[in-house]
Copies of this chain bind each other. A is one copy, B any other.
Amino acid sequence: MAKQDGITVKKDENFSEWYTQVILKADLIDYSKVSGCLVFKPNSYSLWEEAQSYFDKKIKKDGVKNVYFPLLIPEKLLTKESEHIEGFSPEVAWVTHTGDTKLSERLAIRPTSETIMYDSYSKWIRSWKDLPLRYNQWCSVVRWEFKNPVPFLRTREFLWQEGHTVFATQEESKKESHKILEFYTDLFEKLYAVPMLKGMKSEKEKFAGADYSLSVETILPNGKAIQGATSHGLGQNFSKPFNIKFLDKNEKSQYAWQNSWGFSTRSLGIMLAVHGDEKGIVLPPKIAPNKIVIVPILFTKTKDEVLKVSKELAKTLKKYIPIHDDREDYSAGWKFNEWELKGIPIRIELGPKDIEKKHVVLVRRDTNEKKFVKMSDLDKEISSTLTDIQNNLFDKAKLFLDNSIGEADSISNLKKLVNDKKIGKVNWCGSVECEGNIKEKTGAKSLNSEFNKVGKGKCFACESNSKFVTYFGKSY
């Protein structure tokens, strides 16, 4: 038997090393020969499938339809909206040849699909009857960043969904951007058990080409803030260059109002970083593909009897999609470590004595709490324990987030907070220049500004009046 590979560093002592070890040892990801492009192994791709299924149901129920647009975007299309291309051009991967032939026009691998989708939208939308048009696609995108890649959190290719919707009025567009942000909040808080700060991005940090961007943000255990998902109000910034017009009910031609919104496999990294511990990853029960693992304790004499009962148990508990670990060439201890490393929410141990006493041992992954449960109570106990684990993970993360936010009334206070691995909450003017100055002096950028709140008094960082209540932090 090979040596078992546990986690060799503490999460709170060396977060990056801990994170990389956990991701690799829980067999989630592997590196490929292309720097920054990672392989999603079954253990992580199955998490993505769960997240897709959860979110896809939500948006379909709300009337959104799925589509698929081409991967490759002609250079002329990509550059049609000037702020948009300025934001993306340094990171675009360009196809210049096919076979031995040089292309007459370069093709970009989609860094995001506004431009290719809106070129089609301009053909499809004619009348108010065609609106709202609400399409989404699940695909991969490529953005050739040069910062160090971090599994899930910063990769050159990632998987995501991008919703692209069109409305007749600004009001409908605004309403949807907020609704989608609620969907993202629900996804993070209910499925991933990760609490989020909701708000509006600053002028400086909004999406390239948007009127405004809404986001959900949170904090990682290393004190770095991170954006979870975004919902953009694009205004008429794309409908004008792309000529997306419709005849309204009065037969008047109008430019449409547009939104785009997305979340990506980065969200998995956030979840794993937030909940993991010294033993490995910890999966919130709702996203865990297997909610429980059953480990029969095998001794030569009683093996057959125990296996019979544990197999039966696996059948009875089918709805929890159990792993029944009946391997005979691994010890029980090895198995415990393996499934802890891989984050299975509940472990059920079952030996010959347990069978005699008609109970099992139930172990929670989040608290390590161990208890005996009567066979007859088991289904009920598992069900309530899974709910408990889901809630407990969220509550712990919420406490950490709450404790990580401090108020700052000056640049030096903010600097102290972020050096202390915290997020600063400030009254702020919102200007691009002021944000540049803050970044230079503290290393922090704005995360987002709270909805329905107005900054009080002067800006914490400059002479202007404050307009927003804003979170600042060092971030990914």
- Tell me the A residues contacting B by CB distance below 8 Å: 30, 32-34, 37-42, 45-46, 48-49, 65-74, 77, 89-100, 106-107, 109, 116, 119-120, 123-124, 129, 135, 139-140, 142, 144, 157, 159, 329
> Chain B residues with Cβ under 8 A from A92's Cβ?
98-99
**Cβ-defined contact, A93 with B95, below 8 A:** yes
- Select A107's contact among B34, B65, B123, beta carbons within 8 Å: B34
Query: Do A30 and B120 contact each other (CB < 8 Å), given the known contacts A39-B67, A67-B42?
Result: yes
> Chain B residues with Cβ under 8 A from A68's Cβ?
39-40, 45, 48, 140, 159
Distance of A96 Cα from B109 Cα, bound (Å): 12
Query: Do A99 and B95 contact each other (CB < 8 Å), given the known contacts A42-B65, A71-B157, A72-B157?
Result: no
> Chain B residues with Cβ under 8 A from A66's Cβ?
42, 45-46, 49
**Cβ-defined contact, A97 with B99, below 8 A:** no
Say how far A321's CB is from chain B's closest CB, in angstroms: 12
Say how far A264's CB is from chain B's closest CB, in angstroms: 13
**Cβ-defined contact, A98 with B91, below 8 A:** yes
Distance of A433 Cα from B116 Cα, bound (Å): 46
Q: Closest chain B residue to A90 by CB distance?
A: B99
> Chain B residues with Cβ under 8 A from A39's Cβ?
67-70, 120
Most buried by B among A30, A72, A97, A157: A72
Say how far A204's CB is from chain B's closest CB, in angstroms: 21
Query: Do A94 and B91 contact each other (CB < 8 Å), given the known contacts A42-B135, A46-B66?
Result: no
Query: Do A33 and B74 contact each other (CB < 8 Å), given the known contacts A66-B49, A67-B41, A68-B39?
Result: yes
> Chain B residues with Cβ under 8 A from A49's Cβ?
66
**Cβ-defined contact, B74 with A34, below 8 A:** yes
Distance of A472 Cα from B70 Cα, bound (Å): 34
Query: Would you list 9 pairs from A and B whose C-beta atoms are within 8 A, ordered by A residue?
Result: A33-B77, A34-B73, A34-B74, A40-B69, A42-B66, A68-B159, A94-B96, A97-B106, A109-B109
Say how far A296's CB is from chain B's closest CB, in angstroms: 19
> Chain B residues with Cβ under 8 A from A73's Cβ?
34
Most buried by B among A48, A77, A95: A95
Q: Closest chain B residue to A73 by CB distance?
A: B34
> Chain B residues with Cβ under 8 A from A34's Cβ?
70, 72-74, 107
> Chain B residues with Cβ under 8 A from A96's Cβ?
94-97
> Chain B residues with Cβ under 8 A from A37's Cβ?
70-72
Say how far A34's CB is from chain B's closest CB, in angstroms: 5
Distance of A66 Cα from B49 Cα, bound (Å): 9
**Cβ-defined contact, B140 with A71, below 8 A:** yes
**Cβ-defined contact, A65 with B46, below 8 A:** yes
